[in-house]
Structure 1
Amino acid sequence: MFDYYLGLALRSLRRNKVLTALMIVTLGLGIGASITTLTVLRLLSGDPLPQKSARLFYAQVDPYTKDGYEAGKTKPQRLIAYTDAMNLLHAHQADRQVALALTDARIAPLRSGEHPFFSDGVMTTADFFTMFDAPFQYGGGWSAADDESRAQVVVISDFLNDKLFGGASSVGRIIRVNDHDLRIIGVLKKWAPQPRFYAQELGGRSYGDGDAVFLPLQTARAANMDPTNDDCWAVADITKLETAPCIWLGFWVELSSDAEVAAYTQFLSNYAQQQIALGRFYRPEVALSDLMQWLRNEKVVPDDVRLQAGLAFGFLLICVVNTVGLLLAKCLRRSQEIGVRRALGAMRREIFAQFMVEAGMVGLAGGLLGLVFAEFGLWCIRHQPAEYAGLAHLDVHMFLLTFLVALVSSLVAGLLPAWRASQLAPGSQLKAA
């Protein structure tokens, strides 16, 4: 029976080519616009570490001054001071903990004739790679002992290894960073979480290829590497950020249960009260946000992207309404044909099924055209200056979703015309004929 309906639908669509083309283009435009904006929204709001994001938490305490403080209303600062980072780190109250800051790394190739260049770097502590599931292609990370001894070591990215060493293992080789010779102990596989959540509070890029070099925090500071983001509330010597009244570090912890989360929150609160008693803190507020909540707090997804997605789906709704009108007009023009079929014994549900199959075919054709429009829209986005632009591509899930949206939209659009066609009385149509 489906083959019969399919044949009827094809004949009907070929009979009214202009009307058919108009319906397909209308749906295609709405689907293309909605899939384009949905792809961008999905890119920006995705979970960068779905396998463990629920276990990663961003910790905040507030060593800032009393200026502008309102008890119970003022949220803690996004960054923490070096002293607090070290105190929390050495307290070992979490399964893993990481202090980190971003930096600009000046890399000087040791081969003659090659010029120095700047790349994004991370100065951090030993748990970074295991905590954030950063995979290694060669070698591995450093130890907590290397942190304390300021070991002259570095981990580099796959793309930096390709650029400097042609992709071969560079473990044991020397690389010059900020005029200091560091020994490479590890090379990462391709690793670039999108968004780059650990850089969000540090003033770094949220999207892209990721960072090029990863250094022990104290090693980097000994090499006069400065953070890309700091906030000092008094005149400070940035070469002595470890003791200056400045906040410049982010702090992440890994906790494996709700009980551990509650215990660590209490630990942060007790720590803040202790520092108030010592005269270092004036603000008792603390915060512990899981990874996805932290990204929401930081408003990683711009409001205009959400607005564009909403407008695009509103446009799709308008396109569906227009398609309803076109299908309804097409149905009314075929009243006599429907009357003949009903007089020959076709039941209402069979007429309804016939028109729904026709609507589905329009939807699939609209999906194909919508796919073309979506690819064009994403191509336009990739040529914009936004930092996420280069990542705007349709993946398999969005490809399948395009046809699902097209099919659902067309079937919704076909409901009223199909119901109207099934309600036509055969007698009146045969008399009119």
Structure 2
Amino acid sequence: MFGYYCNLALRSFRRNRMLTALMVLAIALGIGASMTTLTVFHVLSGDPIPGKSDRLFHVQLDPEPMTGYMAGGEPSRNMTRFDSETLLHEARGKRQAFMTGGFVALEPEGGTPYFTDARYTTGAFFPMFDAPLAFGRGWSAQNDADAARVAVISAETNQKVFGGGDSTGKTLRIDGNAFQVIGVLAPWRPTPRFWDLNLDGFETLESVFVPFSAAMDAELSRMGSMSCWGDSSGIDSNARNAPCAWLQYWVELDSPGDAAAYRDYLLAYSEQQRQAGRFVRPANVRLRDVRAHLDHAQIVPGDVRLQVWLAFGFLLVCLVNTVGLLLAKSLRRASEIGVRRSLGASRKAIFAQFVVEAGAIGVAGGIAGLVVALFGLWAVRQAPSTYAELARLDPAMLLTTFVLSIAATLLAGLLPAWRATQVMPAIQLKSN
């Protein structure tokens, strides 16, 4: 029977080509606009490290003075160097790493120096964040302790500076300092770049990674947020005991269930520091996993969320118009429905026929909507925003396009299909 209903739908479309085209166009525009904005939202709100995001936690303490204190207020996203190095040394998690951003000059051999982003971190960064290495390795805890002049570079930097291939063992000059390349990352772009949301989370990966201790020893240029308090004039804000928060601290736990015990450890640490006179505020800590950290930071731009709601509102308008067109079409076919009913077709069969027709319009609208969505995403990629180039339709969103199109038109077709079943065959035959 399904094949028979499809045949009837095809005949109906041929008889009412203009009306069918209007319905397909309405669905295509609604689906295209919705999928364009939904795809952008999907890309920006995705899990940057699936399978591990519930075991990676961002740590926040509150070492600031009582000035401006509000009970239960949100502490700084950043940590002091003293607290970061102390927690790293105590090593209460499976892995832990702290870091900050940098902006350095790379000097290719025989090439023109150029400025690029860097990350100063500790050796556990690479296994913690599942950084894929194409060549070589990351550095060890001993390298951290020795302030070893070693570096791991991105695939793009490897191609630009060394022409690609295995460049481990080669020398890279960073801000005039010689560093030995010990690792080359495979192409990798976590979206968003969640480990430091003080910077743009949708920028490309940092070009070079070096040990934090070596960066401080070489006095490499730093980039990122820093807040200081008290009498910090005349002191080195990067010093271990400086009253400044500027480092991001992450810990990996064996399981999500270990978070409560680690939070208790942070509370105890805060109380210990308060008794020592370093902290003056009551213990106030935060421990959020990756998804909670991103949600709290509201990483998805507000205009993207608004565009999603507007697009689905537009889709609703398109569906209302489609319902009206389907109703008009069913009314025009009252005599045909009356003849079919008089020949023995049940109301259920009439209902199924019109639902199949609506589904066929949904398929056609989905195909046309896909074209509209692809054009819309192309337009988004022309925008100057850092996330624009990420706006691409993946297989999941491609499937969603057709599912949404068919589901929407089936929903829109329910009222016209029910209306068609209410046609009285006797009245239609009499009027003919």
Moved over 3 A (4+): 236-241
Question: Residue type matched to 1:308 in 2?
Answer: Q
For the pair 1:336 / 2:332, whether they are aligned, the reply is: no
> C-alpha offsets along residues 140-169 of structure 1, whole Å, 9 cap, x if unaligned?
011101001001100001111111222110
For the pair 1:190 / 2:187, whether they are aligned, the reply is: yes
Determine the C-alpha separation between the residues in 1 that align with 2:39 and 2:256: 33
Task: Kindly state the Cα deviation for residue 281 of structure 1 after the two structures are TM-superposed.
Answer: 0.9
For the pair 1:431 / 2:426, whether they are aligned, the reply is: no
Determine the C-alpha separation between the residues in 2 that align with 1:316 and 1:240: 53
From 178, 181, 185, the equivalent of 1:181 is 178
Q: Does structure 2 conserve the Cα–Cα contact (< 8 Å) formed by 1:103 and 1:226?
A: yes
Q: Does structure 2 conserve the Cα–Cα contact (< 8 Å) formed by 1:236 and 1:244?
A: no
Q: How many residues align?
A: 428
Question: Residue type matched to 2:361 in 1?
Answer: V
Partner residue in 1 for 2:154: 157
Task: Kindly state the Cα deviation for residue 242 of structure 1 after the two structures are TM-superposed.
Answer: 2.8
For the pair 1:360 / 2:359, whether they are aligned, the reply is: yes
Larger deviation, residues 422-431 vs 62-71 = 62-71
- Secondary structure of the structure 2 residue equivalent to 1:199: coil
Question: Residue type matched to 1:272 in 2?
Answer: S
- Secondary structure of the structure 1 residue equivalent to 2:173: strand
Partner residue in 2 for 1:209: 204
Which runs of structure 2 are paired with 1:278-297 in the superposition (5 Å)? 278-283=276-281, 284-297=283-296
> C-alpha offsets along residues 97-140 of structure 1, whole Å, 9 cap, x if unaligned?
00110111210112x2x111111111000100000000110000
Determine the C-alpha separation between the residues in 2 that align with 1:248 and 1:226: 14
Question: Residue type matched to 1:298 in 2?
Answer: A
Question: Residue type matched to 2:117 in 1?
Answer: D
Determine the C-alpha separation between the residues in 1 that align with 2:76 and 2:334: 69
Task: Kindly state the Cα deviation for residue 24 of structure 1 after the two structures are TM-superposed.
Answer: 0.6
Partner residue in 1 for 2:401: 402
Question: Residue type matched to 2:106 in 1?
Answer: I
> C-alpha offsets along residues 288-345 of structure 1, whole Å, 9 cap, x if unaligned?
1111000011110122211111111111111111101100000000000110011111
Determine the C-alpha separation between the residues in 1 that align with 2:369 and 2:34: 9
Determine the C-alpha separation between the residues in 1 that align with 2:357 and 2:238: 73
**TM-score, reference length from structure 2:** 0.97
- CA shift in 2, pair 1:52/1:240, >3 Å: closer
- Secondary structure of the structure 2 residue equivalent to 1:160: helix
- Secondary structure of the structure 1 residue equivalent to 2:195: helix
Q: Does structure 1 conserve the Cα–Cα contact (< 8 Å) formed by 2:104 and 2:221?
A: no
Q: Does structure 1 conserve the Cα–Cα contact (< 8 Å) formed by 2:81 and 2:238?
A: no
Task: Kindly state the Cα deviation for residue 26 of structure 1 after the two structures are TM-superposed.
Answer: 0.6
Q: Does structure 1 conserve the Cα–Cα contact (< 8 Å) formed by 2:95 and 2:251?
A: yes
Task: Kindly state the Cα deviation for residue 239 of structure 1 after the two structures are TM-superposed.
Answer: 6.3
The gaps in structure 2 that reach 5 residues or longer are none
Calculate the aligned-residue CA RMSD, in Å: 1.2
Q: Does structure 1 conserve the Cα–Cα contact (< 8 Å) formed by 2:169 and 2:182?
A: yes
The gaps in structure 1 that reach 5 residues or longer are none
Q: Does structure 1 conserve the Cα–Cα contact (< 8 Å) formed by 2:55 and 2:254?
A: yes
Determine the C-alpha separation between the residues in 2 that align with 1:238 and 1:316: 57
Partner residue in 1 for 2:228: 232
Determine the C-alpha separation between the residues in 1 that align with 2:83 and 2:258: 20
From 139, 158, 161, the equivalent of 1:142 is 139
Q: Does structure 2 conserve the Cα–Cα contact (< 8 Å) formed by 1:45 and 1:301?
A: yes
Partner residue in 1 for 2:241: 243
For the pair 1:56 / 2:60, whether they are aligned, the reply is: no
Partner residue in 1 for 2:262: 264
Partner residue in 2 for 1:29: 29
Determine the C-alpha separation between the residues in 2 that align with 1:389 and 1:240: 35
- Secondary structure of the structure 2 residue equivalent to 1:207: coil
**TM-score, reference length from structure 1:** 0.97
Determine the C-alpha separation between the residues in 1 that align with 2:73 and 2:22: 56
Question: Residue type matched to 1:214 in 2?
Answer: F
- Secondary structure of the structure 1 residue equivalent to 2:49: coil
- Secondary structure of the structure 1 residue equivalent to 2:196: helix
Partner residue in 2 for 1:324: 323
Determine the C-alpha separation between the residues in 2 that align with 1:299 and 1:259: 25
Q: Does structure 2 conserve the Cα–Cα contact (< 8 Å) formed by 1:150 and 1:216?
A: yes
Partner residue in 1 for 2:115: 118
Question: Residue type matched to 2:217 in 1?
Answer: A
> C-alpha offsets along residues 204-251 of structure 1, whole Å, 9 cap, x if unaligned?
221143111010001011111243121122325446433322111000
Question: Residue type matched to 1:24 in 2?
Answer: V
Determine the C-alpha separation between the residues in 1 that align with 2:73 and 2:206: 33
> C-alpha offsets along residues 246-268 of structure 1, whole Å, 9 cap, x if unaligned?
11100000112345211110111
Determine the C-alpha separation between the residues in 1 that align with 2:193 and 2:256: 25
Partner residue in 2 for 1:277: 275
Partner residue in 2 for 1:90: 89
